[in-house]
Amino acid sequence: MDLLSADEVARHLRLNVKRVQALAREGRLPGRRVGRKWLFDRRDLDRALGTTSHLDLAGIDLSARNQLRGRILALTVEGVMAEVTVAVGDQQVVSVITRGSAERLGLRVGDEVLAVIKSTEIMIGKESSR
């Protein structure tokens, strides 16, 4: 069992630690209180968020705080554009990117990606295979 503290979960989800604790109290994040501390099982978190732990994007630093890990459900490429549908938990996020970006990233249905929301745009990131 890989247990995480509220601070570690907050860093992982890019949330304030108080928000993580509030979500756990509300039952929206799977955690348990042990004494005065909140502990979270990484597998339970991954299951609740619809993600897996083996995607490590620690090498990516972005200014955008809204970074959602998910899996590509659909990829439609037509002309110079590509529409990418990403499952994030039980929600879907759709991003329209250039065909060149989709090809450069090597995007495929089933790939684990990072949907980055900045203002009104959603960008797609994928761990480099280089």
Residue 59's pLDDT is 52
Do 30 and 48 contact (CB within 8 A), yes or no?
A: yes
Residues in the chain, total: 130
CA distance 116 to 92: 13
User: What are the domain boundaries of the chain?
Assistant: 3-49, 66-125
pLDDT of residue 53: 45
Ordered mean pLDDT values, 10 residues apiece, the chain (130 residues): 85 86 89 90 78 48 70 95 93 92 92 82 76
Residue 64 confidence (pLDDT): 58
Output the CA torsion 102→66→95→87 (10° steps): 90
Question: What is the Cα–Cα distance from 6 to 47, expressed in whole angstroms?
Answer: 17
Distance between CA atoms of residues 105 and 28, nearest Å: 33
66-125, CATH topology level: OB fold (Dihydrolipoamide Acetyltransferase, E2P) (2.40.50)
pLDDT of residue 116: 82
